[in-house]
A and B are shown apart, each in its own frame.
Chain A
Amino acid sequence: MKVVIIGNGIAGITTARNIRKQSDHEILVISAESDHFFSRTALMYIYMGHMKYEHTKPYEDWFWEKNRISLKNAYITDIEFENKTLHTAENEQITYDKLVICTGSVPKTFGWPGEDLKGVQGLYSKQDVELMEENTANIKQAVIIGGGLIGIEMAEMLHSRGIEVNFLIREKYYWNSILPLEEAQLVNRHINEHHIKLLINTELEEIISDDDNRVKAIKTKDGKVIDCQFVGLTTGVTPNIKFLKDSVLETDRGVLVNEFLETNIPDVYSLGDCAQFRNPKEKHPPIEQLWYTGKMQGEALAKTICGTKTNYNRGIWFNSAKFLDIEYQTYGLMFNKPSEDENTFYWEHPNGKICFRANFAKSDGSLRGFNFFGMRFKQTVADTWIRNENNISNCITHLNQGFFDAEFSANHHKKILEHFNETYPSYKVELPKKKKFLIF
């Protein structure tokens, strides 16, 4: 059987590797972006000079041949589903028995005047970073539109080159659509600390061109004009499925799939950034654009393709990010406001850079989720506690079991616990009894 995978991102490559582990199917991975799999999450580090492109490849180049995974650098323009044939931009035809579509995303834009000018771009692909390198050579000022995860990455990238950054966000606080107020404020402060200019409650009106069709400034909705030689559009990404429109494959924003990642056409699957679930789980988004979910979906799909039909199960939600110097880990479903049936507990270190949040059920105190900023925590501990609906007082008592900061780091357990008792006196949490050690 010949499995053809379009897209060599984490979703496609995880699928390919796991099919190989379980079978002898012929595997072909096609990508127009790069010859080999690389880590998209590391693109920012190439620009900042932390790494070279070579370092972002998780497998050495000999790996693919050794594991009999064929790679092809080609752009697919058209798919004949009835004949199971792909057409490349070079008019080559490729046949398949099973097809996996994981073409990722493209930056989303909103039809702003001037969004096609030179010096205006989004950030998603390897080519985008190369373009950004070109667009930001010898410039002084930049503007970033949209306060999400890519926006802050771009801000950090430009800031590392000493480029003045104006960071436009629609809300009052950074990423407040996801982060609770206190956490969003914490990140706001950190952005300001880096002298990245955060323009809150600000939206883009238009991008202004110079005589060479290059950006020279932007105008905000409230009429403010900001000079800049670069505009980063980071208002989200959208599935990269333009080439599939007007085909028999059912699509909406993404390729529509069920929980087995099957599309409406037999033997055609889709996953990763470009797939859209027909019936997403409650409180889960229909499109999951995360490294982690791409990986888990690939593992599930490989099993299905190799004969063990397996549904994609997200498990206990988790995610992570880094906002400039502050690391962020979240476990369980944590929204910007707790659900109506939840209590929330928040602790912040006096330095304003470290914080902790726990949400738990009002009724019985069972744990719903955690947010950690500037603090590392073990996934296995958080996962088990949330899964088992562990009582919050028990969690706070044993928080130490999950701390994952480097050795000799400050331990905030006592402070968190004291603050918890002040906030929720009815729980009366105590520090765990210290085990007595007898030396000799």
Chain B
Amino acid sequence: MKIIQKIGLAIFLICFSIFLLTLGAGKYQLTEATFKASVTDSTHQALLMPNLKEMVGKEYSSNINFIADYNKGFDKTNQKFKDNEEWDKVIYTDYSLPIIKNSSIGFVKDNQMLLFYICFIISALGGAIYMIADLFIQPVAGIKNNNIFKSGITNRGIIAILFSVFLVAFYLFLYKAPTYLSNWILLVDPLSISLTGGEASHWFLYGFLYSLIMLTMGIRVYVKYRHNNYEILRNTSVIFFQLAFAFMIPNILTTLQLPSMDLKNMWPLDYSFFFDYRLDSLLSAGMLGYWMLGWGIFLFVVGVPVMVYFFGKRWYCSWVCGCGGLAETFGDPFRQLSDKSLKAWKYERVIVHSVLVFAVVMTIAVLYNYITGADTILGVSTYAIRETYAFAIGFVFAGAIGTGFYPIMGNRVWCRFGCPLAAYLGIVQRFKSRFRITTNGGQCISCGNCSTYCEMGIDVRAYAQKGENIIRASCVGCGVCAAVCPRGVLKLENLEEEGRFDIYTRPEDK
């Protein structure tokens, strides 16, 4: 079985290497036809073509050169208008991604389907073999965190740092230069066309990878926690919400030419919910659009307080949310890396609540702008506020740091330090909720498994050893502290509010 496990790993690593190599493979050639297919606006065609003339017919073996030449021509076109201050003529549409995709020739283009299977399907199967083999290597169910702190990938070794660098780089390109990822996007084109009728964007690639990784790493969670029904159900729930709500439904809505929306995503995590283009799209889509707008507002106005009161913030953070779902599946091997110090907790409270304030202020500014038509608020450009938020929080914090730093700072960096929705859910959980982690009398032996494996960096033991229930704004209710406890001391539950803060006192001391 260990051999089979190694074969699984080898399959995955080979496929993953091919996936990486694919980025640099393939050739590119711009033709009149591909140019016209990519630049759909005929005015733009006429403006751009003269400056791209030199590219036409030339075969590029590297996408870097291709993109450089394209950008040169594009900038040249615009520079002229800018110099002449003909602002209305400047081209703002970014055609680089469709152009490079349509210009792809050679290996990648010719073997689109084959590479799709190798990079995604076979690699996922290799991963699945690796995870499932554990069923036979560790045939007796139970918590087996053996060697977690002895393995480089799960204990901040060189490989973990390299992996982190890779993830951060991926986010950088995804957000800032998706053109360079064109070969990967090309691979998911057939799938995108069959699902939505349109070619894949970089966001389609991202959504597809996200779902695939959650599904594959979800298998690992099923195997690891197979003796724990809470974990099995929770895992099923996050995978379901990712596949159905985050991936399939929005794509189906796109196919039906309806406004696409992830119906489980919620403001303020979904920070662009009140942006003008999204409001316009919803308000122009008839009843369905109104309903979607209403649903989005209902979720955070009524859904959050009511559901958190009855179940704690876990109903969202570790059962529904996409960020949480990735953290609980892909991120599970890194949960022990969160910082448990009091200092980290102090930083956490300041940062996460600041982000919440920022999100609220930004949204008010954007709505003010939308309703009144003024583009500044108190002398500050609302567009600038919105772009700052999108860049600093949406991209750097949630993406590059939030996921990129899994192997360094644990799997919930974003949820703990950055997510404004988590901050909001947390305030309700802390002050008005039936949820708590109950401590079983004086049973704690202070071993520290609970604190070590708390992804939110809560020092669970500090409460448990005092006989105190754990009621913390940040707790996402993943249930792992209770699962790893060797003495049955912890239980997540929803009980009556009264007495949730009571500390256990021995009858002898009463």
Contacts and interface: CB of A to CB of B under 8 A. Distances in A.
Given A49-B147, A315-B507, A406-B492, A42 B342 contact: no
Nearest to A402: B440
B489 to A, nearest CB: 8
B154 to A, nearest CB: 9
Interface stretch (B8-16, B107-115, B241-249, B480-488): B480-488
B176 interface: no
Nearest to B148: A49
A138 interface: no
Contacts of B492: 406-407
B443 A379 contact: yes
* Chain B interface residue number, banded: 35 or more
A56 B448 contact: yes
Contact of A39 (B150, B442, B446, B483): B446
Interface residues of A, number: 50
A408 interface: yes
Interface stretch (B195-203, B228-236, B369-377, B400-408): B228-236
Given A329-B443, A406-B483, A58 B142 contact: no
Contacts of B487: 320-322, 327, 329
A313 B145 CA distance: 37
Contacts of B147: 48-49, 160
Interface in B216-234: 227-230, 233
Interface in A369-413: 376-380, 383-384, 387, 404-410
B291 interface: no
Contacts, number: 135
Contacts of B451: 55
B341 interface: yes
A298 to B, nearest CB: 13
B493 interface: yes
Interface string B473-510: 00000010011001110011100000000001011110
Which of the listed residues B462, B479, B487, B493 has the most CB atoms from chain A within 10 Å of its own CB? B487
B446 A10 contact: yes
17 contacts: A39-B445, A49-B151, A50-B149, A51-B149, A52-B149, A55-B451, A58-B446, A60-B341, A160-B147, A313-B508, A320-B443, A320-B487, A325-B140, A379-B443, A406-B492, A407-B479, A407-B491
Contacts of B504: 380
A320 B140 contact: no
Interface string A290-321: 01100110010000000000000101101011
A380 B461 CA distance: 19
Which of the listed residues B342, B440, B479, B488 has the most CB atoms from chain A within 10 Å of its own CB? B488
B440 A379 contact: yes
Contact of B452 (A55, A160, A383): A55
Contacts of B462: 58
Which of the listed residues A52, A58, A321, A322 has the most CB atoms from chain B within 10 Å of its own CB? A58
B441 interface: yes
A318 B443 contact: yes
Contact of A325 (B142, B151, B482): B142
Given A48-B147, A56-B447, 18 more contacts: A39-B446, A41-B445, A45-B447, A49-B148, A49-B151, A51-B149, A52-B149, A58-B461, A193-B140, A194-B140, A320-B443, A324-B142, A404-B488, A406-B229, A406-B479, A407-B493, A408-B230, A409-B228
Nearest to A381: B441
A292 to B, nearest CB: 7
B449 A42 contact: yes
Contact of A407 (B148, B230, B441): B230
A327 B142 CA distance: 10
B439 to A, nearest CB: 10
Which of the listed residues A10, A49, A60, A407 has the most CB atoms from chain B within 10 Å of its own CB? A407
B470 to A, nearest CB: 15
Contacts of A57: 448
A58 B441 contact: no
B150 A315 contact: no
Contact of B228 (A10, A50, A51, A406): A406
B146 interface: yes
B429 interface: no
Nearest to A292: B442
A357 B106 CA distance: 72
Nearest to B464: A58
Contacts of A313: 508
Nearest to B504: A380
Contacts of A291: 445-446
A327 B488 contact: yes
Given A320-B487, A379-B441, A58 B230 contact: no
A313 to B, nearest CB: 5
B301 interface: no
A189 to B, nearest CB: 11
A329 B229 contact: no
B447 A325 contact: no
Contacts of B445: 39, 41, 291-292, 320
B465 A58 contact: yes
A329 B488 contact: yes
A52 to B, nearest CB: 5
B440 A50 contact: no
B19 to A, nearest CB: 30
A60 B343 CA distance: 10
B37 interface: no
B146 A48 contact: yes
Which 10 residue pairs across A and B have the least CB separation, nearest first? A325-B142, A379-B441, A376-B488, A408-B229, A49-B147, A42-B447, A49-B150, A50-B145, A322-B486, A41-B445
Given A296-B506, A407-B230, A45 B441 contact: no
B491 A404 contact: yes
A315 B508 contact: yes
Given A406-B230, A408-B229, A51 B449 contact: yes
B452 A51 contact: yes
Nearest to B439: A379
Nearest to A57: B448
Which of the listed residues A55, A56, A160, A387 has the most CB atoms from chain B within 10 Å of its own CB? A55
A402 to B, nearest CB: 10
Nearest to A52: B149
Nearest to B341: A60
A406 B482 contact: yes
A216 B493 CA distance: 52
B361 interface: no
Which of the listed residues B146, B148, B233 has the most CB atoms from chain A within 10 Å of its own CB? B146
Contacts of B141: 325
